[in-house]
């Protein structure tokens, strides 16, 4: 089991990293893509309103948003992993593009200050959720082909999710709401 989860975490991480490189590469190759991307992103998210929230409310909102994404990654395994891979890749492209745009506007130190503190918790949660989704896909395939018990495996994966992903997301939300803004102010 531990070998399987480590292998799946590695696969989920590689999907994310390769997608992040694609996102950054798109912005480097065509800056207009970056401008369009930021317009769409700022239209979808009201960042000013979000950042005006008291830190505790912001942390709760960030936690819920990230928990939803991680649940989708995990449960995306029932689509034979298609949704899991799509969400990992989409998040990777977004992070890569935003990091590249921020690097061009504010510099590399800003990108590190903005992503690293909460990313230490949020990215592992994302990768573990993706891994569990890939493992769920494998469990469903085994049940269909070999007579395994996907429901039993899904229960074990849910325990792993609850014990690892949820606490990581709590730490990420608290860090992003209370610590990251202070660190960013130091480097701007």
The full set of domain ranges for the chain reads 2-187
Q: Long-range contact list for 33-39, CB < 8 A, 24+ apart? A: 33/97, 34/97, 34/100, 34/101, 34/104, 37/97, 37/98, 37/101, 38/98, 38/101
Residue 126's nearest CA partner among 46, 58, 67, 54 is 67
**Mean pLDDT over all residues of the chain?**
91
In tens, the pLDDT along 3-58 reads 689 999 999 999 999 999 999 999 999 988 888 877 777 766 666 677 788 999 99
Give me the pLDDT at residue 133, please. 97
Are the C-beta atoms of 160 and 132 separated by less than 8 Å?
yes
Are the C-beta atoms of 13 and 127 separated by less than 8 Å?
yes
In tens, the pLDDT along 107-128 reads 999 899 989 999 999 999 999 9
Prediction pTM value: 0.92
């Amino acid at each position: 089991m531990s070998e399987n989860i480590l292998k799946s975490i590695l696969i989920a991480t590689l999907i994310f990293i390769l997608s992040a490189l694609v996102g950054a590469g798109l912005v480097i190759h065509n800056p207009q893509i970056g401008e369009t991307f930021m317009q769409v992103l700022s239209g979808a998210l009201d960042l000013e309103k979000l950042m005006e929230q008291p830190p505790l409310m912001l942390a709760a909102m960030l936690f819920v948003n990230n928990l939803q994404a991680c649940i989708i990654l995990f449960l995306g395994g029932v689509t034979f992993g298609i949704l899991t891979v799509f969400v990992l890749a989409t998040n990777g492209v977004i992070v890569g593009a935003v990091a590249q745009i921020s690097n061009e506007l504010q510099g590399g130190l800003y990108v590190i200050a903005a992503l690293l503190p909460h990313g230490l918790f949020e990215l592992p949660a994302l990768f573990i959720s993706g891994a569990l989704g890939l493992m769920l896909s494998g469990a469903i395939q085994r049940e269909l082909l070999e007579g395994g018990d996907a429901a039993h495996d899904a229960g074990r994966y849910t325990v792993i999710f609850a014990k690892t992903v949820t606490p990581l997301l709590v730490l990420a939300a608290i860090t992003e709401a209370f610590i990251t803004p202070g660190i960013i102010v130091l480097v701007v």
